[in-house]
Amino acid sequence: MDDATVSINRHVTRIILLIQVVLFVMWAFTSAKPFLAGLILGGMVSLYFFHTLARRICLMREMTLSGDGRRVGTGIGFRILMVAICLIGISKVPEHVNVVGFLLGLPMSGAVLAFVLLRNERHR
C-alpha cells in the first residue's frame, strides 16, 4: 500500500474505534443496551469489511501492474455470508442485540471513509 492509502486506513480505523468506545460507554450507562450493542457489532463488522476490502484492492492493483493473469475477487460473497451469520446469531438473542442497530452500524466505515476523504480534499 502506498503512504496515502495507509494514512487513510489509519484515520478511518482510529475514528471508527473512537466511535466504538463512545458507543460502548453509552451502552454501559443507558437503557438502550440492545440497540447500542447492535450498533457496536455492526460497526465492528463494518471495520473488518473495510480492512479486507482495502487489502483485496491492493492485491488487485499489484496483480494488474505485474501483468499476472490471475483474478482476485473483492470477497462480496464472504461479506454477505458474514452478515447472514451475524443476523442468524442476533435472531437467537434478540433481547441482547437489536437487528436495526446492527443494520445501521454496517455502513459506518463507508460513512467515516467519505468523511475522511472529504476532509482531505478540503485541506488540499
pLDDT band at 68 (very low <50, low <70, confident <90, very high): confident
Percent of the chain, pLDDT > 90? Answer: 69
The helix/strand/coil state of 19 is helix
User: What's the Cα-to-Cα distance from 114 to each of 58, 88, 98, 117, 122, rounded to whole Å?
Assistant: 19, 30, 26, 5, 12
Tell me whether residue 27 is exposed, middle or buried, using C-beta atoms within 10 angstroms of its C-beta: 0 to 12, 13 to 18, 19 or more.
middle
pLDDT, mean of residues 12-23:
96
Neighbours of 36 (CB within 10 A): 22
Give 31's DSSP letter.
S
CA-closest candidate to residue 113, choices 55, 62, 56, 46: 46
Whole-prediction pTM: 0.88
Would you state the pLDDT for residue 69? Answer: 72
Q: What is the pLDDT of residue 62?
A: 83
